[in-house]
Chains A and B, each alone.
Chain A
């Protein structure tokens, strides 16, 4: 039998900001991602149009790639993450789709996104392969970033 070897390392890398969204009763923005909670995989793909919810690879030139994660539904609305990879490193992360029906959201997002930018880069420098600990409010977000990282194929 294999002997599993465990080690645990502290890190302050972070990924998720969604719980900072405190709006009540948000409505879904124009983009309607199928609820992650119930969507079957095969029937609701919206393709890779610029407003679609499926992940897609973006532009690629001189070692720089922009990758867009799958939009994930959260109780605050769909959240999507886009990362830019240059020479194998995350250089930027933005959230092209996030709940914004309330002015307060914009205020929250305006600090959340720069923080996301920093956190995604930190996560990359921590070279995390995958995440454990999903929760129902943040799962969508983690999944979305993970999806983007998956596509980036970072090592």
Chain B
């Protein structure tokens, strides 16, 4: 399913494209005057390329072939070593709480989506967009502002009462990612204890670049009770942590 809708009136201009890819939905929301068909085509081609290379659900992806040891990293798509380097960096920055290995097997899925969204946003910028948001399954990279003088307003879904939005994060050029127990796919496991992380219901991290924001959210979720102090010490980022019992706490830079 794929569609593009262009809205010209009333101002400000807005072009929205929705793309199904990687087992989720990507919403590309451009707030500069168009046309954007070429840029959107570049972004969707990018997302599908990432899926073809990294999907663990596709037997013919580079990652699946690496897992089966039918391929070496040297022979893989050049995106693979790039992502594995990033994974290594994120593992180091998160005291190993972010890991690109699942049951000892290579699986960089936890990094790929956020990275792909950040790069999709950069592609839009390279095509001349100064104001847009790219949302992939609830992880968001924004650039600029939604309308002159306005901040992006990003609703944070309440992990325990999913019929509610817990809060709204506002900002310009921000990235927001949320990790939680019910997130699609695998549950988050503490790589140190190898047990499912269950102290928290969700962790939302706000920063500037989605690749790291998303990895920090995943890592902090796995930290459980240690998440908030760790997030508080993280420069350039703010966070909202919801415990399994429903208590919301935020880092000091966020006004609740």
Contact across chains for A134 and B157 when beta carbons are under 8 A apart: yes
Contact across chains for B19 and A132 when beta carbons are under 8 A apart: no
Chain A 92-124 interface mask (CB, 8 Å, partner B; 1/0): 000000000000000000000001000100010
CA distance A131 to B142 in the complex (A): 12
**Interface of chain B residues 88 through 141 with chain A (CB within 8 A):** 133, 135, 137-140
A50 beta carbon closer than 8 Å to chain B: no
User: How distant is B102 from chain A, measured CB to nearest CB, in Å?
Assistant: 17
Contact across chains for B165 and A15 when beta carbons are under 8 A apart: yes
Which one of B64-72, B77-85, B171-179, B191-199 is at the interface? B171-179
Q: Which residue of B lies closest to A128 (CB)?
A: B155
- Which one of A4, A14, A56, A155 contacts B207 once the chains associate, using CB atoms below 8 Å? A4
User: How distant is A35 from chain B, measured CB to nearest CB, in Å?
Assistant: 9
- Which one of A4, A6, A38, A57 contacts B23 once the chains associate, using CB atoms below 8 Å? A38
- Given known pairs A39-B1, A45-B2, A153-B14, the reply for A132 and B207 (CB within 8 Å) is no
Q: Which residue of A lies closest to B238 (CB)?
A: A6
Question: What count of chain A residues pass the 8 Å CB interface test?
Answer: 63
Contact across chains for A130 and B170 when beta carbons are under 8 A apart: no
B224 beta carbon closer than 8 Å to chain A: no
- Given known pairs A9-B168, A136-B184, A150-B16, the reply for A53 and B1 (CB within 8 Å) is yes
- Given known pairs A139-B184, A147-B18, the reply for A8 and B250 (CB within 8 Å) is yes
Contact across chains for B167 and A11 when beta carbons are under 8 A apart: yes
Across-interface contacts of B23 in A (CB, < 8 A)? 36-38
User: How distant is A108 from chain B, measured CB to nearest CB, in Å?
Assistant: 12
CA distance A12 to B157 in the complex (A): 11
- Given known pairs A4-B207, A8-B169, A54-B1, the reply for A142 and B138 (CB within 8 Å) is yes
User: How distant is B53 from chain A, measured CB to nearest CB, in Å?
Assistant: 15
Contact across chains for B163 and A20 when beta carbons are under 8 A apart: yes
Contact across chains for B137 and A155 when beta carbons are under 8 A apart: no
- Given known pairs A8-B240, A126-B165, the reply for A132 and B204 (CB within 8 Å) is yes
A66 beta carbon closer than 8 Å to chain B: no
Q: Which residue of B lies closest to A135 (CB)?
A: B182
Chain B 143-184 interface mask (CB, 8 Å, partner A; 1/0): 000110001111111110111111111111110111011111
Q: Which residue of A lies closest to B16 (CB)?
A: A150
CA distance A60 to B37 in the complex (A): 24
Contact across chains for B155 and A123 when beta carbons are under 8 A apart: yes
CA distance A29 to B202 in the complex (A): 32
Contact across chains for A130 and B27 when beta carbons are under 8 A apart: yes
Contact across chains for B1 and A126 when beta carbons are under 8 A apart: no
Across-interface contacts of B42 in A (CB, < 8 A)? none
B246 beta carbon closer than 8 Å to chain A: no
- Which one of A36, A88, A150 contacts B29 once the chains associate, using CB atoms below 8 Å? A150
Beyond A126-B155, A150-B5, 16 additional pairs, beta carbon < 8 A? A9-B167, A10-B167, A11-B167, A12-B165, A15-B155, A41-B2, A41-B44, A53-B1, A54-B3, A119-B163, A133-B157, A134-B24, A135-B183, A136-B184, A143-B137, A153-B14
| Chain B residues packing against A (C-beta within 8 Å) | 1-3, 5, 7, 10, 12, 14, 16, 18-21, 23-25, 27, 29, 44, 48, 57, 133, 135, 137-140, 146-147, 151-159, 161-174, 176-178, 180-185, 202, 204, 206-208, 236, 238, 240, 250, 253-256
Could you list 11 examples of A-B contacts with CB < 8 Å? A5-B172, A6-B171, A8-B167, A10-B256, A18-B162, A36-B24, A54-B1, A55-B1, A131-B165, A134-B24, A139-B137
